Structure 1
């Protein structure tokens, strides 16, 4: 399998065998896979799922209603991704939406694996939405104004104080300021900012109403692109993903401390 590295960007997926969207309220990712199972499709989908896990979402739902796998050859891939998801700290919940009459659903039942399988995406969404929401602080309705940079930075301070993560205050505030500053400059729409606790780390996100994805420019671009270079340099991972009304740009940071609930 090809290596996948930051930035983890989704979008412009026309012609691909999958699409990925995010529910910004629950951080549940939904992937819809289409086409017939093949080695090429499995490589593309596996790489996309690794990008999904890099964000450390609350859960991942994979819609297989338009996926044709007559010999259940993809079972090993789904199980491998589920093992990786459950091994994360804290674990990421994963579910498949696939008809129980398909060979894939039958093979998964025979294997007796602990990978939830639902007949429809709607049923999977209902169960995953009922999962406990990870700890978060968030702000909505921020104007596309430089003043929002400071407001979002104060949100980071509050999160680091609340969850006793003082060592993440400086890099997290710098990242959040860069994300909001970019949204103010390039999107020009109402913003939302959120900080989620991920064990001993943080997940920072900024959403706006512009579907265009960010681009990391090289240093030869002069003063342009400095914000994303800060994000790239200070975060553990970062990326962007489409939402129902625009996009969400996110970044994660980690500490070396053991997670204590």
Structure 2
């Protein structure tokens, strides 16, 4: 199973391979949960290498569609299944009634999804690992917030973007792509660099009298405090770290994240092909 994102975290590709059994089903549901929690604009699931001759995995993909549709804003979900596979026929019959598009190849899915994505306001900038890069990234945020009338988010977004860029300079040291997108009442920030290792928040030590405070690990703590959600995803050339910020009232109204896609109880027994 592998996961890959566009550099602006707008489209995520999840590839599932191997024999479909209970273990793979559980891993797939957990990974779908992670993908949807990242809240991309679209999720493509590549099932080209999935061994499911009787199509018993179908309820999992339909449950994922329902979860993606229930998010606000909703996430576009598409499957890639070669037409000669038995699963393709079953999913075509189910998907045609439930608006779940099926494509033969990943490239076809990317082109079709890109044509259906909303025309999102987005500003991007390519920066090197230089001392002036955080300042240039903050200026991009200022321009975006002023043009899009998101003044309430200007200062927290500048702080978050500064931390993301500083982390990329310190831990990646490569050229980076900085992006800011309009997402409803809020904005979405992302920084893509050339190192695949995903960031890990450091646990802060307890404050002790006479001992210095931790100087490392505060960047992601600040990001977590200011953003309603943040995360990281692998890309073809490294990784992308993203954060979403909402105005205070919108953040308070946000409902808890959707749980992993779950099957109705009567569908959880997926047939004799799975080991007991």
Both structures adopt the same fold (TM-score exceeding 0.5) = yes
Aligned ranges for residues 224-235 of structure 1 at < 5 Å? 224-235=216-227
Aligned ranges for residues 64-213 of structure 1 at < 5 Å? 64-111=47-94, 112-132=97-117, 133-140=119-126, 142-213=127-198
Aligned ranges for residues 17-56 of structure 1 at < 5 Å? 18-24=1-7, 27-56=10-39
Structure 1: where are the runs of 5+ without partners? 1-17
Contact 1:55/1:251 (8 A) holds in 2: no
Cα 1:44/1:250, change in 2 over 3 Å: same
Shift of 1:87: 2.5
Distance 1:69 1:254 in 2: 41
Shift of 1:115: 0.2
The question of 1:63 aligning with 2:55 is answered: no
Deviations 1:171-202 (A, max 9, x none): 21111110001111111111211011111122
SS at match of 1:212: coil
Corresponding residue number in structure 1 for 2:235: 243
Cα 1:162/1:90, change in 2 over 3 Å: farther
Q: Aligned Cα RMSD in Å?
A: 1.9
Shift of 1:26: 7.3
Contact 2:9/2:233 (8 A) holds in 1: no
Deviations 1:70-113 (A, max 9, x none): 23222122112112222223322111000223332222233322
TM-score (norm 2): 0.81
Distance 1:40 1:201 in 2: 38
Equivalenced residue count is 240
Corresponding residue number in structure 2 for 1:14: none
Contact 1:238/1:249 (8 A) holds in 2: yes
Cα 1:134/1:189, change in 2 over 3 Å: same
SS at match of 1:138: strand
Distance 1:87 1:135 in 2: 23
Which of the two has higher C-alpha Rg? Answer: 2
Contact 1:241/1:247 (8 A) holds in 2: yes
Structure 2: where are the runs of 5+ without partners? 206-212, 254-276
TM-score (norm 1): 0.85
Task: Compare the two structures and name the one with the higher strand fraction.
Answer: 1
SS at match of 2:49: strand
